[in-house]
Structure formats: C-alpha cells, structure tokens
Chains A and B, each alone.
Chain A
C-alpha cells in the first residue's frame, strides 16, 4: 500500500474541464474557511465565538507551517527537526518590525517580511545541514534546533529571554484601513496568507527545482548523473521552505502579539512532523488535513482531558505503525475502488470494523483517564466522570473490568481486521486487470 501509491498526476497539461474539477475541492475548502467563523457566531449577543476564531486562526498558520515542512519531508525526503527555528525567527523579526519606531510595512505585508527573515536564516543553517542527507541531515537539524533554543534564551536583547518579546499589532498601519482590533480581522488576514502561501508552495512543486527535489529524494546519485548537484537542490529547497515557515511565524506574531522561545522550540518542530505525517506526506492535501486535525485535537481535546497529549501521541504511533501513508494515503488507496464504483462493497466491512475500533478506543480512554486521575486528578480534588460512569479508581474492580474489556475488544478488532482485509484483497484483485496499467 505504501510504495505503490498512484504516480503523481498533473504531468501533462490536463484539459481545462479536468483542471476545474480538480480545483473544486480547493475552492470549496476556501469557501468553508471564509464562512466558518460565522457559523459559530453568537448572534443573540452579536459576538464572535472567540475560542473558535482563535482555533481557526491557529489552523491557518499551521497549514502553512505543515506545508512548508512537507517541502522537506515529502518532496525532498529530508527529515528536519529544526523547522520551528525559521517559524520562530520569522515571528521574532515581525515582533521587532512592529516595535520599531517606524513600522516599515503595512501589517498585511509583515508576514512576508517574516518570510524573508525566515528564509535568510534558512540560507545560513541550510548551508550547514544540507551538506548531508538522510540520518546525518536529521542530526544536524536536531543540533540547530537546540542551538536556536539556547540562543533564544541567552540573547535577551533580541529574543527577550524566557518571557519573549511582546508587541502590539496595532502599531502598524493597514493597506485597507483595517484596525485589526478583532480576532476575526486577523483571521481573514491569515486566510489570505494561507491562500497565497499555499498557492506558492503548490506552484513550486511543478518547477524544475521542485521536480528535482523529488528526483534527489528517490535517487540522489542518478540526479548527479543527469547534471544536478543534489546538495544545491537540498539547499535551495531548504531555504524556500524556510521562507514559508517564516510567513507562518509572522502570522503567529501578529495573532498572539507575543513570541517566546516556544516558537523556535523542538516541540513545535515535532508538531510539524506530526501534522505532515498524520495527514500524509505523499500528497499536497496531506499536511493541510494533518494541520487542521492536530490543531483541532490540541484545542478541543485539551478542554476535555488533561491527557490530551497522550492521545495525540498514540494517534501518531498508530499512524506510523498501521498507515504510514497518512490519511490521504488511506483515502488514495480507495481511488481505484471508487473509480470502479465498488465502494459500496466496503460499507458493511467498514461498519463491522467501526464497532471494535470504538471499543478499543473506549478501553484505552478509560485506562488513560483512570491512571491520570489516580496520579494527578484526585490530588487536585477533581472527580472522574467517564461518559456517565464514576469509577472508584482505588478499588480493583474498574481496573480489571477495563483491562478485560480492552483485551476482548483488541481480539475482536484483530478478527474483524483480518476479515476486512480478505474482502479488501478480493476487491483489489478483482480490479487489478483494469488498473494495473
């Protein structure tokens, strides 16, 4: 499933109608993004839903960030652990631009300034990191990430130490006379930049450099013997991805009006990896889906559970183990079935799979939450209420019941999964003659 993903299309110039059809989901996504905050507006009081608007804003900048990460990971096969450095540096620079006596550019263009700064720093660090590829590259970027965090804490003059740099976006003037006092105005600025940056990165995929990045990913030695210096390809790709990370960082600064060393720190770099990987590094849509999903989990789950990070971590492990092509990879694997009009044959197997999946998930949630309650929650004087059940975690009964239930659920899931793949394989074999070509 992983290595036989359909070859990238968009090779030949497709017909105009074909292009329009391919653009439809993107246009729909954009429209949804435009109306989204209004769906959550509190019309009775004439107020926006601040929480939701903030979450959608975060999603927008994370989409740019994850896409720029995938320029390295998916497109060039480079595993970077320092991508947040260029994000954060773009943010710091925009903070300084905003705090300067005269703000050099209108607020609408400041993310671009952040991008230029992020790209400039990526030129410097890229010159070091792209000397190597694969494992050595990853290790160099890890070092760069550590270096940047240390620098951000040490050099107080520029980075503001542990408290970071605060600013006020209203210091800048606006091209359109918008005062950016409301979160919603910032949200639309972010959407505009997400669109611009997304189009830019999509364009880059179809250029000679973008294609040679793929080529060097597949076989750097062959790339040399068709005249390309793989190191130069990596270097330029790295610098360009730094530009887009910097744009996202600039938006981050404008949104939160504070940039601390968290913005250059390893967890954020890890987040980029998480988003791109869970969404799927093999397609352009993958990191976008991953960024939206992970941001939603971070914002939504963290309201419900203290252990939300455990769930995100488990999701990552499960994806890497069972679906290394990510969400878009799973969807893409269905394409031949959909084309043949046989998707209906999978409805029942999927429904049968759903029940044990939910059961395993429920068992896992019970275990994590009871453990978290027993170790932290109880001491904080909270009560544990799991879907209406109030287990007494200091008696063995709920533990034994959960463990037994989870074990049964896992056995059930394995059984159903085996059945599912029998159906799946039969379906794929039936389609093979038509789709192998």
Chain B
C-alpha cells in the first residue's frame, strides 16, 4: 500500500465576488500528519471541500500524487483513496451502526452497484466491518440506529466510516469539536491508531490536539497560508502569534 502525497498549487475559490481561498499552495508529504489551523472564517473547511471534490475550484490545481483531483466528482476522488469526515456529523442516520460501516466498505471491496450479492452472506466484508466496529469501540452499539447514538459516539462512527474503506489519504474536519476532555483524549488516541502510516490532513481548533498529533502545522488566515512548518517553529512564529494564536500562545 503506497501512501500518497497531496499537492495544492495556487488554489483559489470565489463565492460570487467574495474570494474565500486566495491562492493556497501546500504540500502534504506521504505519511505526514498535517494540521490546518486558523481563525473562524479562514477557509479551512472550504479548502477541505475543494480537496474532496464537494466544490469546484475557481482556479489552481490539486493533485494526489500525479492524479488531478480538481476535475473529478467526489465519488471518483474517494475511489482514488482519499476519504474525509465532516465537521457536522454526516452518517446514514436511519441505518444501524454496523450498516453504516458496511456501506463505507462496499465500494473498496469491489461490490460496486451489485444487486446480486447477498450482504448477509459476505463473510469477509462483514468481518471487516466488525473489525472497524471494534476499532472505534462501538461493538456494544452494533445494531443501534446511528441517528440515536450520542454525539461522541456519532463522531467516532464518522471517523470509522472515513477510514473503513482503507483510504490512504484522510481528511478530518474538526474531529473533536464539541467533545468533553475525556472524549477528546479518546478521540486523539483513536485517530492516532487508525491513521497510522497514512497521510492525514486535519482541521482542528483544539491546540492540545494539534500539537499532540501533528508533524506539520499550516496556518490559514483569510484564505492565505501565513506559515507552515513543524509545531515548534509555528509556536515561535511571530506572524502566527499576532494573527491567530494571540494570547493563547503567550
């Protein structure tokens, strides 16, 4: 399994006359854990939506290794091995937890649009879904309707669905938002475990999480990258302190 690198070249995005992303160039190396931080409205989630194909670019280029992503629809990007989670939990709320994970596995296991396989009789598929279920610690909630899970459980399921298909590039959008301290700690451990050896890009507001997990940090302010580097360098960067970290870093 080769781990891909993600390259953004002068990416721009306008919504009407408003320029949200103003020329972002960013390289996320293969196997790197990369955190994207910045104040509210900096365009972090928009950048995620551009990379994952949810929105089209205004100009620029996004590549996963040598493959252009910015011309592809989201499902094609996902099939290339890039998977994402959402800031606002996005699950199949009327299906059970197990079904959610199984759906997340189907395409990568080659079932495509099959209407001749019986899901119940696919032991390898079902075992794989059970393993993810164990991994995200929801085995005791297996048959509960996903919409009825607690918030933290839904976040865990969301991460499980993001990694289930064996994607090698993972985008997590504020995976610990709204969690308590214990839940956050648990989520960090989970993310660390399931993204082992994969390329990870995450948006995060919680600085503990960022400095705990990331190899590299990129700071986005008003649609521009103002700094990018290892945590220690970012912590020491004056521009970052002024623009964003402010009192928190002092």
A409 touches B (CB below 8 Å): no
B124 touches A (CB below 8 Å): no
The B-contacting residues of A in range 88-142, CB under 8 angstroms, are none
Contact with B106, one of A13, A212, A219 (Cβ below 8 angstroms): A212
CB distance from B8 to the nearest CB of A (A): 19
Write the A304-339 contact mask toward B (1 if CB under 8 angstroms, else 0): 000000000000000000000000000000000000
A347 touches B (CB below 8 Å): no
B75 touches A (CB below 8 Å): yes
Roughly how many angstroms separate A219 CA and B108 CA in the complex, as a whole number?
19
Roughly how many angstroms separate A204 CA and B119 CA in the complex, as a whole number?
10
Write the B65-92 contact mask toward A (1 if CB under 8 angstroms, else 0): 0000000011100110001101000111
Of listed A6, A12, A208, residue having the most chain B CB within 10 A = A208
Residues of B within 8 A of A224 (CB): 73-75, 78
Write the A215-250 contact mask toward B (1 if CB under 8 angstroms, else 0): 101110111111111001100100010000000000
Write the A1-40 contact mask toward B (1 if CB under 8 angstroms, else 0): 0011011111111000000000000000000000000000
Contact with A227, one of B99, B107, B121 (Cβ below 8 angstroms): B107
Residues of B within 8 A of A218 (CB): 91-95
In the complex, the answer to whether A206 meets B96 with C-beta atoms within 8 Å is no
In the complex, the answer to whether A226 meets B78 with C-beta atoms within 8 Å is yes
Residues of A within 8 A of B219 (CB): none
Given contacts A208-B119, A219-B90, contact A225 B52 (CB under 8 A): yes
In the complex, the answer to whether A206 meets B119 with C-beta atoms within 8 Å is yes
Given contacts A4-B148, A225-B52, A226-B104, contact A214 B117 (CB under 8 A): no
CB distance from A284 to the nearest CB of B (A): 15
A155 touches B (CB below 8 Å): no
Roughly how many angstroms separate A221 CA and B161 CA in the complex, as a whole number?
13
B103 touches A (CB below 8 Å): yes
B115 touches A (CB below 8 Å): yes
A52 touches B (CB below 8 Å): no
Residues of B within 8 A of A211 (CB): 95, 99, 102-103, 106, 119
In the complex, the answer to whether B103 meets A210 with C-beta atoms within 8 Å is no
Given contacts A3-B147, A7-B143, A207-B117, contact A228 B107 (CB under 8 A): yes
Roughly how many angstroms separate A212 CA and B68 CA in the complex, as a whole number?
27
Residues of B within 8 A of A176 (CB): none
A43 touches B (CB below 8 Å): no
Roughly how many angstroms separate A218 CA and B144 CA in the complex, as a whole number?
15
Smallest CB gap from B123: residue in A: A13
Roughly how many angstroms separate A187 CA and B244 CA in the complex, as a whole number?
76
A209 touches B (CB below 8 Å): yes
Given contacts A214-B92, A222-B90, A224-B74, contact A208 B120 (CB under 8 A): no
Residues of A within 8 A of B75 (CB): 223-225, 227-229
Given contacts A13-B120, A227-B75, contact A232 B91 (CB under 8 A): no
Write the B98-136 contact mask toward A (1 if CB under 8 angstroms, else 0): 110011101110011111111111000010000000000
Residues of A within 8 A of B90 (CB): 219, 221-222, 225
A437 touches B (CB below 8 Å): yes
A203 touches B (CB below 8 Å): yes
In the complex, the answer to whether A226 meets B103 with C-beta atoms within 8 Å is yes
Q: Which 8 A-B pairs have the closest CB atoms?
A: A227-B107, A7-B145, A209-B115, A224-B74, A218-B92, A208-B111, A227-B78, A7-B96
Residue contacts A-B, CB under 8 angstroms, 25 given: A3-B147, A8-B96, A9-B143, A11-B143, A12-B120, A13-B120, A206-B119, A206-B120, A208-B117, A211-B95, A212-B106, A214-B99, A215-B92, A218-B91, A218-B92, A218-B93, A219-B91, A222-B161, A223-B103, A224-B78, A226-B107, A227-B75, A227-B106, A228-B107, A228-B113
Extra contacts besides A207-B117, A221-B54, A226-B161 (7): CB < 8 Å: A8-B96, A207-B116, A207-B118, A212-B106, A215-B103, A225-B52, A437-B144
